């Protein structure tokens, strides 16, 4: 297996710096850890699969609230690594902005509200890692011409840039190879699905194949709506129409068949938890995530 080709620190205009490694798909995951200095290991992994450019504005506020008020604090409190698509688009941008607000030095004692100390605990630097096909993104210091239009999110801590991935979705195998390595080190792993399209189905199918918990943000539309419809008993003969209606299928017959195969696989899985984040109190999400991770609430 090949080693990382090069590593660098990307300096964004907002002043944030991200550790980045440029790799090939077959990279040894242990080398990614070494190059990014991710040591010691986190206590668990949350993979968030979700929509980018087609993310609906009508669910943005509730998605922001869920990530900012529940997921990001969970990552800080329990020392969890969050893995996503890494771009300044859709749910990834929401995650980046939420984590920016929670970025503090490790082990700050005494979290204050105004002048009153409300709690004392260890508070970990939020770890946010994005996997992207290098050919599809640009970033400060990128010397290519012309440059891709998609920007890296300036609030992620780590990036894994997959050099031999030439389209969106081709980085997924590398991402799950890395996640699998962490799982082999006895780290609990879950997948949260928020909106999304064809690639979200692909990532969910990878999680299903590995028999790991999946949490669907019911009501976040597109891929989640397709999956929920399948789980609720929509006949398989109508799933093609579902994929077309929600623009989940690819542009060619092979991609369409792949999306359908992934949906069939996901719909038969019995470790999917549905959370209607538009109607349920958001504080009910924390125990669901901790339970899926097998972590006792502190």
Cβ contact 144:134 at 8 Å? no
Cβ contact 193:214 at 8 Å? yes
Residue 135, pLDDT above cutoff 60: yes
Instruction: Look at residue 1 and tell me if it is in a domain.
Output: no
Residue 235 has a pLDDT of 93
- As a three-state string, the secondary structure of 239-275 is HHHHHHHCCCCCCCHHHHHHHHHHHHHHHCCCCEEEE
Instruction: Look at residue 128 and tell me if it is in a domain.
Output: yes
Mean pLDDT for 91-116 is 66
Domain count of the chain? Answer: 1
Instruction: Look at residue 97 and tell me if it is in a domain.
Output: yes
Mean pLDDT for 49-72 is 90
Higher-confidence residue: 296 or 227? 227
Model pTM score: 0.90
Instruction: Look at residue 213 and tell me if it is in a domain.
Output: yes
Higher-confidence residue: 35 or 126? 35
Instruction: Look at residue 298 and tell me if it is in a domain.
Output: no
Distance in angstroms (rounded) separating the CA atoms of residues 128 and 95 = 9
Distance in angstroms (rounded) separating the CA atoms of residues 25 and 175 = 9
Instruction: Look at residue 40 and tell me if it is in a domain.
Output: yes
- Domain with residue 211: its CATH number is 3.40.50.450
| Structural domain containing residue 156 | 6-292
Cβ contact 67:94 at 8 Å? yes
Percent of the chain at pLDDT exceeding 70: 90
Residue 125 has a pLDDT of 75
Beta-strand (E) ranges in the chain? 6-11, 17-23, 44-50, 80-84, 111-113, 116-119, 127-133, 137-138, 150-151, 158-162, 189-194, 214-218, 272-276
Instruction: Look at residue 278 and tell me if it is in a domain.
Output: yes
Instruction: Look at residue 297 and tell me if it is in a domain.
Output: no
Q: Does the bond joining 134 to the residue before it have cis omega, within 30 degrees of 0?
A: no
């Amino acid at each position: 297996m090949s080693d990382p080709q090069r590593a660098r620190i990307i300096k964004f205009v907002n002043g944030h710096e991200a550790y980045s490694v440029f790799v090939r798909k077959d990279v040894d995951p242990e080398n990614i850890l070494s190059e990014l200095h991710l040591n010691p290991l986190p206590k668990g992994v949350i993979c968030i699969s979700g929509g980018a450019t087609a993310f609906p504005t009508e669910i943005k506020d509730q998605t922001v609230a869920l990530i900012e008020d529940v997921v990001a604090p969970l990552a800080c409190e329990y020392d969890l690594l969050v893995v996503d698509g890494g771009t300044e688009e859709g749910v990834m941008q929401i995650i980046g902005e939420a984590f920016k607000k929670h970025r503090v030095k490790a082990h700050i004692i005494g979290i204050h509200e105004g002048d009153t100390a409300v709690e004392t605990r260890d508070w970990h630097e939020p770890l946010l890692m994005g996997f992207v096909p290098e050919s599809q993104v640009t970033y400060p210091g990128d010397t290519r011409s012309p440059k891709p239009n998609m920007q890296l999110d300036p609030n992620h801590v780590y990036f894994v840039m997959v050099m031999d991935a030439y389209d969106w979705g081709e980085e997924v195998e590398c991402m799950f190879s890395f996640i699998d390595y962490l799982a082999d080190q006895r780290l609990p792993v879950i997948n949260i699905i928020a909106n999304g399209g064809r690639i979200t189905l692909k990532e969910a199918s990878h999680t299903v194949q590995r028999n790991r918990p999946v949490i669907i943000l019911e009501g976040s539309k597109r891929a989640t709506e397709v999956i929920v419809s399948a789980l609720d008993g929509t006949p398989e003969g109508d799933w093609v129409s579902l994929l077309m209606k929600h623009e989940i299928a690819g542009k060619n017959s092979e991609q369409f068949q792949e999306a359908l195969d992934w949906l069939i696989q996901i719909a038969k899985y019995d470790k999917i938890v549905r959370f209607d984040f538009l109607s349920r109190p958001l504080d009910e999400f924390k125990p669901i995530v901790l339970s899926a991770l097998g972590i006792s609430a502190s």
